[in-house]
């Protein structure tokens, strides 16, 4: 008996597969030929360096070790302390920490300058804006990246010695990392505001919020911040621009101990209201946790793992595990996204903040498949959110089983950016981020998607090849 499938059509329509150049694909389509596109672009940078690094067994072994440490890292929030107590080595002199790679006062953008001035006023180092400017321009107050002290700060990311910081400890490797407490939205220091109400809030955070939260967290014996992040990734957060679930889980968990740690019920209520009023409250401990996770994989000789991506509003810098403390820097990008009513691209400061530590760790834009609602904030469609995550699997070394995405059948988030893959595929890691107004103190004016400059990765690849 003859099966129907045995009968093959004699004439078959022509079809084509187009690799790389779009020009050929379009020409064929105009002639009615169906075209399947393969997204491929020639590698960037020094091909010899790329070949050498790709062929190296040392790099493979180093990456395996770095990843093992990253996946084993288990950060807990263990305390809230004034920065000068939590990080005594950072504050042996008058100093302010800031987001991103190193930058001088002269080159700083508006929001970072505004925040530096605000921090000087808050610390009582200056009695007015002019005096603060002079101190900062004269070098009497040192400036250093947060990352140089295992700290991270969103937007301008200023940390001054009196500010309370979350102390996060990776109990597996013993590393401690730090982040400030989130001030909320509107006129806030991290966007460069330094008006009296901003300093007043910072004082309340230093005198009330920080100490009470510290007591509560110590009473609880610490909080599993990795577990909060993992749960929130199953609850529509991506832990960078959506922190509603993590903030709610944190508030719910900490509330009982907080009531027991406050001086009065009114104080407890005030603190709970402050936390409940800010959907981004948990961004900061998540950032310190991500920093702790990536720090575990840092300083493994020859590893091509990206352990830092950070921006100061002027430069974008990366650091790579096998290349130690060295920064590879390019210009900070402009963000494509949605603007709040009344603002547009002309108001936007270039990319700023240490919060890209989230993408470095495999969450944020890398985990958008689990946070489709975020497209209402940063633009695009839920399909785009899914696509961003899917694309990042090509750039990363592994999937983090601690951070699984139900929408991708519980697959772990794409984790561990490999500078080799970025150069080989000519494809950049995606970051979602808030847009700061370029004038200090106006605050957030939108949110969207941004990419690092390719040259950071090219330079790092050459340096790694040179080292081998």
**Site for a second copy, rule CB under 8 A:** 3-14, 31-33, 231, 234-237, 244-245, 247-249, 251-253, 255-257, 259-260, 262, 265-266, 268-270, 272-273, 275-276, 372-373, 375-376, 381-383, 406-407, 409-410
| Biggest distance spanned by C-alpha atoms of the chain | 97
Check if the beta carbon of residue 444 is closer than 8 Å to that of residue 185. Answer: yes
Contacts of 52 (CB under 8 A, 6+ apart): 465, 468
Query: How many Cβ atoms from other residues are within 10 Å of residue 26's Cβ?
Result: 11
Least gap, CB of 30 to a second copy (angstroms): 9
Least gap, CB of 266 to a second copy (angstroms): 7
State the Cα–Cα distance between residues 186 and 179, nearest whole angstrom. 20
State the Cα–Cα distance between residues 72 and 64, nearest whole angstrom. 12
Least gap, CB of 407 to a second copy (angstroms): 6
State the Cα–Cα distance between residues 64 and 412, nearest whole angstrom. 17
With respect to a second copy, which residue has the nearer C-beta, 65 or 375? 375
Least gap, CB of 408 to a second copy (angstroms): 8
Least gap, CB of 378 to a second copy (angstroms): 13
State the Cα–Cα distance between residues 468 and 303, nearest whole angstrom. 10
Nearest residue to 431 (alpha-carbon basis) of 455, 456, 450? 450
For residue 168, list its beta bridge partners.
77, 177
Least gap, CB of 406 to a second copy (angstroms): 4
* Secondary structure letter of residue 207 according to DSSP: I
Least gap, CB of 152 to a second copy (angstroms): 24
Check if the beta carbon of residue 353 is closer than 8 Å to that of residue 153. Answer: yes
Q: Angle between the 47-55 and 454-467 helix axes, to the nearest 10 degrees?
A: 60
Q: How far is CA 105 from CA 92, 198, 280, 336, in A?
A: 20, 22, 28, 27
Phi, psi of 381 (to 5 degrees): -120, 165
Check if the beta carbon of residue 162 is closer than 8 Å to that of residue 83. Answer: yes
For residue 92, list its beta bridge partners.
none
> How far is C-alpha 141 from the chain's CA centre?
27
With respect to a second copy, which residue has the nearer C-beta, 12 or 92? 12
With respect to a second copy, which residue has the nearer C-beta, 248 or 308? 248
State the Cα–Cα distance between residues 462 and 48, nearest whole angstrom. 9
With respect to a second copy, which residue has the nearer C-beta, 281 or 457? 281
Least gap, CB of 189 to a second copy (angstroms): 24
With respect to a second copy, which residue has the nearer C-beta, 93 or 252? 252
With respect to a second copy, which residue has the nearer C-beta, 253 or 467? 253
Least gap, CB of 1 to a second copy (angstroms): 8
With respect to a second copy, which residue has the nearer C-beta, 85 or 260? 260
With respect to a second copy, which residue has the nearer C-beta, 38 or 266? 266
């Amino acid at each position: 008996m003859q099966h129907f499938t045995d009968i093959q059509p004699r004439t078959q329509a022509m079809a084509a597969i187009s690799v790389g150049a779009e020009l050929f694909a379009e020409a064929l389509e105009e002639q009615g030929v169906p075209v399947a596109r393969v997204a491929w672009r020639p590698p960037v940078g020094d091909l010899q360096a790329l070949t050498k690094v790709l062929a190296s067994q040392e790099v493979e072994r180093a990456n395996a070790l770095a990843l093992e440490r990253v996946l084993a890292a288990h950060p807990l929030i263990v305390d809230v302390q004034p920065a000068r107590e939590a990080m005594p080595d950072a504050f042996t002199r008058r100093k302010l920490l800031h987001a991103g790679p190193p930058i001088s006062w002269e080159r700083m953008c508006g929001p970072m300058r505004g925040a530096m001035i605000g921090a000087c006023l808050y610390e009582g180092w200056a009695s007015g804006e002019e005096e603060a400017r002079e101190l900062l321009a004269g070098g009497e107050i040192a400036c250093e990246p947060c990352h140089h002290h295992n700290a991270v700060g969103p937007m301008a990311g200023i940390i001054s010695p009196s500010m309370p910081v979350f102390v996060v400890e990776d109990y597996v490797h013993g590393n401690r990392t730090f982040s400030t407490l989130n001030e909320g939205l509107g006129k806030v220091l991290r966007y460069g505001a330094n008006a009296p109400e901003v300093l007043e809030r910072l004082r309340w955070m230093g005198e009330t919020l920080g100490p009470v939260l510290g007591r509560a967290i110590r009473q609880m014996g610490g909080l599993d911040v990795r577990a909060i992040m993992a749960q929130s990734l199953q609850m529509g957060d991506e832990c960078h621009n959506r922190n509603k679930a993590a903030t709610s889980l944190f508030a719910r968990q900490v509330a009982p101990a907080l009531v027991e740690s406050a001086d009065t019920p009114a104080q407890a209520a005030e603190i709970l209201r402050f936390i409940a009023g800010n959907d981004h409250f948990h961004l900061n401990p998540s950032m310190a946790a991500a920093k702790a996770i990536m720090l575990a994989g840092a300083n493994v000789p020859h590893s091509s793992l990206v352990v830092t991506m950070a921006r100061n509003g002027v430069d974008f810098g990366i650091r790579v595990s096998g290349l130690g403390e060295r920064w590879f820097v390019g210009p900070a990008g402009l963000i494509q996204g949605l603007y709040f009513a009344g603002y547009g691209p002309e108001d936007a400061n270039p990319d700023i903040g240490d919060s890209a530590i989230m993408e470095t760790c495999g969450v944020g834009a890398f985990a958008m498949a689990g946070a489709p609602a975020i497209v209402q904030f940063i633009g695009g469609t839920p399909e785009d959110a899914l696509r961003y995550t899917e694309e990042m699997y090509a750039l990363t070394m592994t999937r983090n089983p601690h951070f699984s995405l139900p929408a991708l059948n519980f697959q772990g988030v794409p984790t561990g950016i490999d500078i080799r893959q970025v150069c080989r595929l000519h494809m950049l890691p995606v970051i979602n981020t808030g847009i700061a107004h370029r004038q200090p103190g106006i605050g957030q004016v939108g949110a969207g998607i941004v990419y690092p400059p390719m040259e950071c990765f090219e330079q790092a690849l050459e340096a790694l090849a040179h080292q081998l």
